[in-house]
Amino acid sequence: TPPATETTRPTVIALANQKGGVAKTTSVASLGAALAELGKRVLLVDLDPQACLTFSLGVDPDTVERSIHDVLTAGVPLDEVALTTDDGMDLVPSAIELAGAEAMLLSRPGREYVLRTALEAGDTAYDVVLLDCSPSLGVLTLNALTAADGLIIPMPCEMLSHRGVGQLLDTVGDVQKILNRDLEVWGILPTLYDGRSNHSREVLADVGARYDLPVLEPPIPKTVRFAEAPAVGRAILATARSSKGAQAYREVAQSLLPRL
């Protein structure tokens, strides 16, 4: 055990892909719940103005007192914004006003470092921080990549889903050169996988070689349980404890443990 004065920094993981509907938010909620089950202290940060992660954890973004917007634009400490959820994880919620944060940050020097600075100033109550990015490569996503130790790229095993990954990887290269030398791409997380479809299997077999990136295993199967879960305002693992999808996320979470 480290001495009480020693502070251990949480491992920060960004889930990003500038395409919407690739299961970023589902993966953040599910991996977070799986890591919490494994005894990790987990903080989720909703960096999407659409606030789907916030909703899916049963928090109404219209009524939250403070959100990630206040952290990024007014320097409010993360600890003062984090909420405890029913699912054993803490959440820094989003709110619609976050849509204006990009513009507010644009005129600020060091705008890409705001989240990183807030995480470093925060107390060290967490083992792992998962960042749910919006479907863009704007200032908010640059903040996530600048703060992150690892990047996971959720990618559906469906037709044309590859488009745009090259652009994301170019951005990652720029971030590694200029903003965050320590950023590592941990891999592609194949999502919405249909083992009965030839196309799904071909995409899975080809995707790692195509981008010269590791592929996290196992792929996350497409199941109706997931489509239903956010509607009832609970994290996926809680509503679908025994589903194949939840089990796959548990195995991926287990495979990440050595990196934490």
Given ligand ADP, Mg ion, none, residue 95, with its beta carbon under 5 to 8 Å by kind, binds none
Cα–Cα distance measured from residue 247 to residue 33, given in angstroms and rounded to the nearest whole number:
11
CB 187 within 8 A of CB 13: no
Query: CB burial class (10 A; 0-12, 13-18, 19+) of residue 218?
Result: middle
Annotate each residue in 140-179 with x if it binds ligand ADP (CB under 6 A) or - if it does not, as one string: ----------------------------------------
Minimum Å gap between C-beta 124 and Mg ion is 27
**What is the number of other CB atoms lying within 10 angstroms of the CB of residue 14?**
29
Site residues for ligand ADP, window 29-88 (CB under 6 A)?
52
Cα–Cα distance measured from residue 166 to residue 10, given in angstroms and rounded to the nearest whole number:
29
Minimum Å gap between C-beta 52 and Mg ion is 5
145-180 residues labelled b (16+ CB within 10 A) or e (exposed): bbbbbbbbbbbbbbeebbebbeebbebbeebbeebb
Which listed range, 182-190, 200-208, 211-219, 225-233, lies at the site for ligand ADP (CB under 6 A)? 225-233
Decide if residue 98 touches ligand ADP (CB under 6 A). Answer: no
Cα–Cα distance measured from residue 147 to residue 11, given in angstroms and rounded to the nearest whole number:
10
CB 24 within 8 A of CB 132: yes
Minimum Å gap between C-beta 50 and Mg ion is 7
Considering only 10, 18, 24, 157, the residue that binds Mg ion (CB under 5 A) is: 24
CB 220 within 8 A of CB 23: yes
Of 24 and 250, the one with the shorter C-beta distance to Mg ion is 24
Considering only 12, 14, 16, 22, the residue that binds ligand ADP (CB under 6 A) is: 22
Decide if residue 25 touches Mg ion (CB under 5 A). Answer: yes
Decide if residue 19 touches Mg ion (CB under 5 A). Answer: no
Of 178 and 232, the one with the shorter C-beta distance to Mg ion is 232
Decide if residue 21 touches ligand ADP (CB under 6 A). Answer: yes
Considering only 10, 122, 150, 245, the residue that binds ligand ADP (CB under 6 A) is: 245
Considering only 23, 35, 71, 92, the residue that binds ligand ADP (CB under 6 A) is: 23
Phi and psi at residue 59, to the nearest 5°: -110, 135
Decide if residue 30 touches Mg ion (CB under 5 A). Answer: no
CB 251 within 8 A of CB 220: no
Query: Which of 245, 7, 43 shows the shortest CA–CA distance to 123?
Result: 7
Sites of contact with Mg ion (CB under 5 A)? 24-25, 52
Sites of contact with ligand ADP (CB under 6 A)? 20-26, 52, 135, 191-192, 220, 222-223, 226-227, 230, 245
